[in-house]
Chain A
Amino acid sequence: MSFFRITLHRSAIGLPKRTRGVLAALGLHRRGQLVFHPVSAQFAGMIMKVKELVIVEEVDRALTKREVHDSRKPDPGFWLETARAVGLQQQQQQFQQQQQEEEVRL
């Protein structure tokens, strides 16, 4: 299932009430806000109504609010060397190695 990744690029100040209503229905309340909606005729029609104000991409998966927040975080510039963090890193590396091996097999 694919999703529309919709960013409000231009403000709707001074535009008709209908246009602002469509934005509110899409869940866009401030400039730069990011929402995900499933690809369907209904949401496509809503995007058509505000096509001059938004940036739209098609993505495979809708990011959660937390993921969007994390993606906007700058690099902290440090990392923690706790036993738990090291364990997680090792797990990740193992997982990546497994995936690579599978790709090679395929």
Chain B
Amino acid sequence: MFGPFRITNSLSGGLLWKIPWRLSPSQKFRQRKRLRAVDSVIATVTNALAKKGETLKSLDRWAAEMPTEAQMLPRDKYTMFDRKAKRYRKGIHKLPKWTRVSQRINPPGF
């Protein structure tokens, strides 16, 4: 059980990567910061266009569909829908490039 020759996952199986199932508090803090950064970009662009009296389809869609960071539930900030996961949720850090893509809403019914 103890000592240098104990059986551990990495000793018996070779390569082992452990990805925690949930985010750490600092990861969550940085995730919120990134969400707010995207919100601020959207707000800046919307305001700038509104001053000229213009609007944009993609901006309108974003405003209609996407909640802001303050409106989002913690559940949606840190986890996302997965049809294969138990109870249909997995950590958002399992999403490839998760710090550089937007993932805010769930499929209908979830």
Bound CA span A4–B52, Å = 13
Are A39 and B52 in contact, with the CB atoms below 8 A?
A: yes
Q: How large is the interface on B (under 10, 10 to 19, 20 to 34, 35 or more residues)?
A: 20 to 34
Are A51 and B56 in contact, with the CB atoms below 8 A?
A: no
Within 8 Å of chain A (Cβ to Cβ): is B51? yes
Are B49 and A47 in contact, with the CB atoms below 8 A?
A: no
Are A48 and B51 in contact, with the CB atoms below 8 A?
A: no
Q: List residues of B (17-48) whose CB comes within 8 Å of A's CBs.
A: 34, 37-38, 41-42, 44-45, 47-48
Are B42 and A51 in contact, with the CB atoms below 8 A?
A: yes
Within 8 Å of chain B (Cβ to Cβ): is A76? no
Are A58 and B56 in contact, with the CB atoms below 8 A?
A: no
Question: What is the interface of chain B mostly: helix, strand, loop, or mixed?
Answer: helix
Are A58 and B47 in contact, with the CB atoms below 8 A?
A: yes
Are A58 and B44 in contact, with the CB atoms below 8 A?
A: yes
Bound CA span A52–B62, Å = 14
Instruction: Collect the chain B residues with CB atoms within 8 Å of residue A44's CB.
Output: 45, 48-49, 54, 56, 59
Q: Which residue from chain A places its CB closest to the CB of B44 in the assembled complex?
A: A56
Q: How many contacting A-B pairs (Cβ < 8 A)?
A: 59
User: In the complex, how many angstroms separate the beta carbon of A85 from the nearest chain B beta carbon?
Assistant: 39
Instruction: Collect the chain B residues with CB atoms within 8 Å of residue A15's CB.
Output: 97, 100
Within 8 Å of chain B (Cβ to Cβ): is A53? yes
Q: List residues of A (43-74) whose CB comes within 8 Å of B's CBs.
A: 44-45, 47-48, 51-58
Bound CA span A2–B49, Å = 10
10 tightest CB-CB pairs across the interface, nearest first? A58-B48, A39-B48, A51-B41, A48-B58, A56-B41, A44-B45, A56-B44, A52-B100, A44-B56, A41-B54
